[in-house]
Structure 1
Amino acid sequence: MDDTDKAILSLVQHDADLALNDIAEQVGLTSTPCWRRIQRLQQHGVISKKVALLSAEKLGLAMTVFVQVKAGRHDGKWLDTFARHASAFEEVVEFYRMSGEFDYLLKVLVSDMASFDHFYKRLVNGIDLNDVTSSFAMEQIKYSTCVPLNHL
């Protein structure tokens, strides 16, 4: 990966709708070599997909909740079952297995407290959990989908 690849990645992760000619011009290439580089980055999985980012707030999802879960058990079957169970909820937009005091962290988007309560009851229903703690975000200070590139 060279500086031109990094420049292409920076441009497309800020605006995936940029025209190929605009990207090529900004990185100092003609269209064909720029297109080849983008294709190579896609084939290698560096560019994994192109999406539209939606405004959760404008869609009525004004509440962000971070849910921390302690596993009920630590065997493979339970872990697989819980991963499938929690991943199935549309409200769960991020889901991580963690080190430390809690085993899992879920980022949940809902419209209000009643919606969260409904989600919570479905999450804990029928699954053996040791502990569940929820924290409600009061303000989003930074949000980015951009991956840092300076280390490359």
Structure 2
Amino acid sequence: MPETLDAIDAKILDLIQYNAALSVAEIADQVGLSSSPCWRRIKRLEDAGVIQRRVTILDREKLGLGFEVYCTVKLTLPTKQNLEAFEQAVLPWPEVAQCATVTGAADYELRIVTRDMHAFDDFLRDKLLSLGLVSNIESRIVVRSVKNSTAVPLRLVSPHIED
């Protein structure tokens, strides 16, 4: 069952999903609470798993990791054992920014981030294809990212959040 959010919880979540560097005092001030009750709410949301972790978002381009590819992957034989083997294999690979099981003709959709076309080719040959589990890969190189958000659309679960 989803966590029930009141207006203050929703405001806290909205603030920290856009700026995790805010102090408890800054958050409390913006939601109209003192620091202690605000901290307790944040702790409750963490304990409930609503707040999974707090991260810093880096600029991939400035780090030389501007090559992004979406790969649709079809396994040779999508048995439970092969699905689990594939999923365990991709977990430690830093190039795999996202991996999702999907419906339709393919088994997985991967978002790959790397330096350039050559590094992507190395990834395909040395990692993905060397598993011996893949029968087909369709790759789509990202030309330009139009929208890239990590924010959860809180207004869909709480009427207290404004656009």
Q: Distance in 2 between matches of 1:137 and 1:16?
A: 28
Q: Distance in 2 between matches of 1:137 and 1:115?
A: 15
Relative to the length of structure 2, the TM-score reads 0.90
Count of residues in Structure 1 that have an aligned counterpart in Structure 2: 152
Structure-2 residue corresponding to 1:107: 111
Structure-1 residue corresponding to 2:85: 81
Question: Which one is further off, 39-48 or 49-58?
Answer: 49-58
Letter in 1 for 2:145: Q
State which of 113, 131, 134 in structure 1 corresponds to 2:139: 134
State the Cα distance separating 1:88 from its structure 2 match: 2.6
State the Cα distance separating 1:36 from its structure 2 match: 0.5
**Aligned counterparts, 1:28-43, within 5 A:** 28-43=32-47
Structure-2 residue corresponding to 1:23: 27
On the 8 A contact 1:71/1:131 being kept in 2, the answer is yes
On the 8 A contact 1:82/1:127 being kept in 2, the answer is no
On the 8 A contact 1:64/1:109 being kept in 2, the answer is yes
State the Cα distance separating 1:71 from its structure 2 match: 1.5
Structure-1 residue corresponding to 2:10: 6
Question: Which one is further off, 60-69 or 124-133?
Answer: 124-133
Identity of aligned residues (%): 38
Residue 139 of structure 2 aligns to a residue whose secondary structure is: strand
Structure-2 residue corresponding to 1:147: 152
Deviations 1:87-141 (A, max 9, x none): 2311001000000121100000011111011001021013222211110000001
CA RMSD of aligned residues (A): 0.9
Residue 54 of structure 2 aligns to a residue whose secondary structure is: coil
State the Cα distance separating 1:15 from its structure 2 match: 0.3
Q: Distance in 2 between matches of 1:36 and 1:128?
A: 47
Letter in 1 for 2:148: Y
Deviations 1:63-87 (A, max 9, x none): 1000111111121111111111222
Q: Distance in 1 between matches of 2:131 and 2:39?
A: 50
4+ runs deviating over 3 angstroms: none
State which of 62, 66, 72 in structure 2 corresponds to 1:62: 66
Residue 125 of structure 1 aligns to a residue whose secondary structure is: helix
Structure-1 residue corresponding to 2:95: 91
